[in-house]
Amino acid sequence: MHIKEKTVRAKRKSNQAAKTEWLKVMLTREPAEIALEAAYYAVRELKQLSIPIEQRKEHLEDAPKSEPTIEGRRLALQIMSEIEAHEATNKADLSKQQAESYIELMLTAVRKLSTDVHPIKAGLGERLLAKLRAQG
């Protein structure tokens, strides 16, 4: 591998770590339920960026019975603002690759938060499989 390739890879890794760090801080300073809700709505907004504006749904509106909480809405908007600041562009100008990168980061954070909120479920599949194998 050439030195230039190593430098580019190291820079990408550093950028990814910086993206991950601010998101972790932002999500972990809130109650897990709020963080999960906000990440859900931010992911929905990022997914809709590839859809023409006139065809997009309001990402913060699911159904009348499941409106986002004030805190969840606030945090989702903060996440999107932070993405714009980090990328130095408007969210509408994010590339598909950039949006997918943030979606993956948030899904990873959500998996971690979900495990923290419901620790009994962490490793449940492995425990059930071991139990079934032991029974024979």
DSSP category for residue 90: -
Asked if 32 and 117 touch (Cβ cutoff 8 Å), the reply is yes
pLDDT at site 89: 92
With the C-alpha atoms ordered 102, 82, 63, 111, is the resulting torsion angle positive or negative? positive
Average per-residue pLDDT in the chain?
Answer: 78
Instruction: Kindly give, in sequence order, each residue whose CB lies less than 8 Å from that of residue 115, ignoring residues fewer than 6 positions away.
Output: 121, 122
CB count within 10 Å of CB 71 equals 15
Q: Average pLDDT, stretch 89-94?
A: 91
- Flag the least confident range among 18-27, 63-72, 115-124: 115-124
8 has pLDDT over 80: no
Task: Name the pLDDT band for 88 (thresholds 50, 70, 90).
Answer: very high
Q: Average pLDDT, stretch 85-99?
A: 91
- Flag the least confident range among 5-19, 61-75, 113-127: 5-19
98 has pLDDT over 60: yes
More confident residue, 130 or 87: 87
Q: Is 123 left (phi over 0), alpha (psi -120 to 50) or beta?
A: left
